[in-house]
Amino acid sequence: MTNPTACLLVIGNEVLSGRTRDANVQFLATRLGEIGIPLREVRIIPDVPETIVAAVNETRAKYDHVFTTGGIGPTHDDITSECIAAAFGVPWEPHPEAWARMERHYPPGEFNPARQRMATMPRGATLIDNAISIAPGFTIGNVHVLAGVPRIMQAMFESLAPTLEGGPPIASRTVHADGVMEGRIAEGLADIQRRWPALDIGSYPYYRMGGGGVALVAKGVDAAAVDAAAHDITVLLRAIGGKPVPGEPPV
CB of 226 to its own copies, least distance (A): 13
Q: Nearest Cα to 229, choosing from 249, 199, 184, 188?
A: 199
Cβ atoms within 10 Å, residue 124 = 14
- CA 218, 33, 10, 7 torsion-angle sign: positive
Identify the H or E element spanning 43.
Answer: strand 39-45
CB of 129 to its own copies, least distance (A): 19
Give whichever of 86 and 192 is closer to its own copies, judged by the CB atom.
192
Give whichever of 13 and 159 is closer to its own copies, judged by the CB atom.
13
Give whichever of 123 and 247 is closer to its own copies, judged by the CB atom.
247
CB of 124 to its own copies, least distance (A): 26
Give whichever of 29 and 161 is closer to its own copies, judged by the CB atom.
29
- How far CA 219 is from CA of 33, 37, 200, in Å, comes to 11, 14, 5
CB of 154 to its own copies, least distance (A): 13
Give whichever of 64 and 124 is closer to its own copies, judged by the CB atom.
64
CB of 42 to its own copies, least distance (A): 4
Task: Convert 86-118 into a string of H (helix), E (strand) and C (coil).
Answer: HHHCCCEEECHHHHHHHHHHCCCCCCCHHHHHC
Angle between helices 80-88 and 49-62 (to 10 degrees): 60
DSSP SS3 for 40: strand
* Site residues for its own copies per CB under 8 A: 10, 13-22, 25-31, 33, 38-46, 51, 73-77, 110, 112-115, 117-118, 149, 151, 170, 172, 182-187, 189-190, 193, 200-205, 207, 217, 219
